[in-house]
Amino acid sequence: MDYNGKNAAYNYIISAKQGGCKMQEITRSVVQGLLPRRDADTNKGSFGSVLAVAGSMAYRGAASLCVEGALRGGAGLVYLAAIEPVLQLVLTRTPECCPCGCRTDNGGGIRAQDTAALREWFADKNTVLLAGPGLGEGAGAICGGLLGKRAPWVAAVLDADALNALAAGTLRGPLPEHTILTPHPGEAARLLHTTVGEVQADREQAVRQLAEEYHCVAVLKGNGTLIAAPGEPVWRNTTGNAGLARGGSGDILAGLMAGILAAGWRQGRSALEAAMMAVWLHGAAADHCAERRSMTAMLPQDLFEDLGAVLTGLEG
């Protein structure tokens, strides 16, 4: 079958749901059909915005990687709420980022009280929230201030320390309707109050349980990353390799996911579709990178060059 084009890709997803299949594979053709269009008469406002809330004194690089991921995922504008030392690093690498300076708390992270101003400033901007990478121990209070009732975000991607806060109960309250959680097996075990061994023994059941319990799109990372949403088939990724098994890979994926979600929001792309696209593209870039540098020598930051090569092939 030929699944090129948005309608064909969408029909494929619908038919998978109606067919009651236990598992579907994310393929190149499906991703190609879902990519947001970049028409000649569009502008930066056509592709949405992302607010990344990331980084701390101890984890400055996480903010840099997720911000660049969001930019290269296609978002029209990417903002970063962070403390000044983090902003300095990120702006050196990606001057396209719009800084939102925050005060530093005693632990070297963002002062949680600053989240009220962020919520107010983004109240009418139709922004996707990306929270968690490198936030440190204060993530619960920070994310709690950003989320909850009347939160302004059209969607959210929660990663890393935000997931740990959610699992520990320091992040409470309802999540935005269109939320993506991106746990690795250890984080998934904490979210489900079980063990890594039990998660890995039945990954499909674990990702389904995450989606149902947290009413979100769940992305269970690992070999053959799985994606689930309530009432939907589970999707298995077909790209990626062990070169991704190093710190920073997940920060790029979270940023890429938020950028794709923002870019496709006005074109009707869902959080599930954004997650599928991001996971496949991230893995495809890693496969391309491994051919250039080897799985041993490749670094997460190398993926950005390969992501461009993969997207060129899809868009051409």
User: Which helix (H) or strand (E) is 286 found in, with range?
Assistant: helix 271-297
pLDDT at position 57: 97
More confident call, 65 vs 3 = 65
- SS3 at position 141: helix
Residue ranges per domain, the chain?
19-26+40-284
pLDDT band at 174 (very low <50, low <70, confident <90, very high): confident
pLDDT reading at 308 higher than 50: yes
**Binding annotation:** 62, 134, 184, 221-225, 250-251
Q: Which of 70, 29, 131, 19 is nearest to 255 (CA)?
A: 70
Kindly report, residue by residue over 6-55, the tens digit of the pLDDT. Answer: 555 555 565 566 555 679 999 999 999 999 999 999 999 999 999 999 99
**Binding annotation for (6S)-NADPHX:** 62, 134, 184, 251
More confident call, 5 vs 87 = 87
User: Which helix (H) or strand (E) is 193 found in, with range?
Assistant: none
pLDDT at position 3: 33
The CA distance from 181 to 158, in Å, is: 5
pLDDT band at 316 (very low <50, low <70, confident <90, very high): confident
Q: Which residues pair with 100 in a beta bridge?
A: 81
**Binding annotation for AMP:** 221-225, 250
The CA distance from 134 to 73, in Å, is: 20
pLDDT at position 21: 60
Q: In terms of DSSP H, where are the helices of 122-184? A: 139-146, 161-168
pLDDT band at 219 (very low <50, low <70, confident <90, very high): very high
Kindly report, residue by residue over 185-194, the tens digit of the pLDDT. Answer: 999 999 999 9
Would the pTM count as exceeding 0.75?
yes
Top-level CATH class of 19-26+40-284? alpha beta
The CA distance from 120 to 202, in Å, is: 42
pLDDT at position 172: 81
pLDDT at position 13: 62
Tokens at 98, concatenated: 């719009």
pLDDT at position 19: 54
